[in-house]
Structure 1
Amino acid sequence: MTEQRLFFILAMDQRDSIEEKLYGLDGAPTPEQAADIAANKLLVYRGLQDALPSLPEGVRPGFLVDEQYGASPAVLAAADERVALAMPLEASGQQWFDFEFGTAWREHAGFFGADHPKVLVRDNPGLDVEERAQQAFKVAQIAGWAAEQNLEFIVELLVPATDDDLARVDGDQDRYDREVRPDLTVSAMEFLQDHGVDPAIWKIEGLAERADAERVAATARRGDRTGRCIVLGRHAPQEQLDEWLRVAAPVEGFAGFAIGRSNWWDALEGRRSGDLDEAGARRLVAEHYTHYVRTYLEARGA
């Protein structure tokens, strides 16, 4: 994938959140429930496939899916030259990054032939510096391995507010996102970079101002780095997500998005309730995904 090629990932690597929030589980799923989750991951991938004919030339669709429930779509995506496969290496639902597969992470990272190993990192300059450094050390191991393997490593960076951050904005999450998080994001990226984490792609929370998007994109390319950024969805309402995409799309250094639940949550809720059949659920996934692609391209002037 070249610098100019836009990259639009349909993210379906959620595990804990699907078990707890979509299925309402408070323990391990039964074999039947696990099979149903896996079937829904395949359904979402089929929805992406349904959208492919409507995509313009010059864009790269991607599918981000986990090994636990997504082995079937992972195999299909790896065999489809139209789709880039991304797979996570982090244990789901942890505050600090840890390897899903322990010391065997390299074997798992290479098993499906994924183009993009990915990790989720939660970081904030206000958190414990030793914990932050230990986390960065682990992630840097993947960054170095991916570079050796000529793979494009993705770091998904979430910057949750500390109590002190929220106190600065009277507890208002929207104000935190607009007024505080951009500076913290830049600082967190610099900390990770200074500790050996240099991904090809930064998956970044949406930004409300173009100047902030420009600073984040410049940070990804700090020094002689060549990183680029994509916008993550964070299960935001469509109006909010459209705003984030419109802000980022025209900025040099932003190259697409990785959106998950905003694409497929309603479809899977409808499928589970019986309000949608499989064809209807796939159609809804394809419609949402195509909407975000078009929103991004229109904002970019493509």
Structure 2
Amino acid sequence: MLHHDRVYMLAADHRWQWEEWCDARGLARERIADAKRLAFDAFMLAREASPDVRDHGALLLDAQYSSPIVAEAARAGIDVGTPAEKAGAFPLAWAAEPFDRALAGAFVKVLVRYRSDDEPSIHDEQRRKLLELHAWCRAAGKPLVVEILVGRRGEPEDEFEASGRPAMLARFVHEAYDRGLVPEFWKIEGTLSAHGARVIDDAIGAQAGGRQIILGKAADLGTIDRWFAVAAKTATAAGFAIGRSVFWDPSVAYLSGGTTAAAARDRIADNYLRLVGAWRMHGSGPTDAKL
């Protein structure tokens, strides 16, 4: 089970991003499974190196391209979860049903795209689906991670990052709580704005035990470190769920023939451990392992 107060999640459930990348290069989509294997092998390497990863590490993988790896991770005692949403879909749609067959992991993640200025009918339908999933997770005893993506639509970027997105995120969280949607974790976009972080923190903390984990948006590790520094000052931040920032470049190098699987695996593991170290530096001391 995900640890309530600390989660170091390597999120490798990306599907449409890899499909677009492979299609653009004439590469068979079957190779996506190789990228998933790299992420798993890197996580295992980091787990061997770091007691903190053994205690608080988690892995997010999709069934579409990594079903055998999900099963392998579960057998190894890894806290592995699977996504519920159809990749890239808006409004929210399910990747597969029924849930008891589609969601084989120990926890469930769902990504929902939201703007407060979307049509009310879209809000209503997405909330209905989220509540359906929430009820199933409760009955199945699986923690739920709700990821919210709030896209910019013409607003000035700095203003939107500092106040516009945090306000919309907070509104979504409040509306969810009002309707009984209380996930174990909110997966939230990082911010450099202390004010924006407080707005989000206050919303999530309105429910006792509310927790957030920071997603990566494919940002560079330096930017993520700065997000961590801001998040560490909040009461609800419990860790991160980051993927492309960790695995994308090494995986692309491997799939393109520019490096070996072992070298790519080592780079991914090192990137992941750097994030673990950054979180600990801002929140609870130096990292305990390095490759």
Partner of 1:69: 65
Paired amino acid for 2:217: R
Distance 2:266 2:65 in 1: 22
Partner of 2:39: 44
Distance 1:2 1:14 in 2: 23
Partner of 1:23: 22
What CA RMSD, in Å, does the superposition of the two structures yield over aligned residues? 1.9
Distance 2:211 2:135 in 1: 17
Q: Structure 2 matches for 1:125-140, cutoff 5 A?
A: 125-140=116-131
Q: Deviations over 1:78-124 (max 9, x none)?
A: 1122x21110010111121111114x123322xx3x12111100111
Question: 5+ unaligned residues in a row in structure 1: which ranges?
Answer: none
Partner of 1:194: 178
Q: Are residue 84 (structure 1) and residue 79 (structure 2) matched?
A: yes
Q: Structure 2 matches for 1:138-287, cutoff 5 A?
A: 138-163=129-154, 166=155, 169=156, 173-223=157-207, 225-287=208-270
Q: Deviations over 1:36-56 (max 9, x none)?
A: 111220111101111113324
Question: What TM-score, normalized to structure 2?
Answer: 0.91
Identity %: 26
Distance 1:251 1:55 in 2: 25
CA shift at 1:140, angstroms? 0.8
Question: 5+ unaligned residues in a row in structure 2: which ranges?
Answer: 286-291
Q: Structure 2 matches for 1:102-121, cutoff 5 A?
A: 102=97, 104-109=98-103, 112=104, 114-121=105-112
Change (3 A) 1:175 1:218: closer
Q: Deviations over 1:141-191 (max 9, x none)?
A: 11112122221100011111234xx1xx2xxx3442123211111012112
Distance 1:85 1:235 in 2: 21
Paired amino acid for 1:252: A
Answer whether contact 2:162 2:196 (CA < 8 A) is retained: no
Distance 1:106 1:134 in 2: 22
Partner of 1:12: 12
Paired amino acid for 2:273: T
Change (3 A) 1:46 1:2: closer
Answer whether contact 2:70 2:80 (CA < 8 A) is retained: yes
SS of 1:23's partner is helix
Paired amino acid for 2:10: L
CA shift at 1:59, angstroms? 4.0
Distance 1:187 1:271 in 2: 42
Distance 1:116 1:235 in 2: 23
Distance 1:194 1:124 in 2: 18
CA shift at 1:202, angstroms? 0.3
CA shift at 1:2, angstroms? 4.4
Question: What TM-score, normalized to structure 1?
Answer: 0.88
Paired amino acid for 2:251: L
Distance 2:84 2:24 in 1: 23
Distance 2:236 2:58 in 1: 18
SS of 1:218's partner is helix
Distance 1:127 1:192 in 2: 16
Distance 1:188 1:162 in 2: 17
Q: Deviations over 1:119-142 (max 9, x none)?
A: 100111111112111101101111
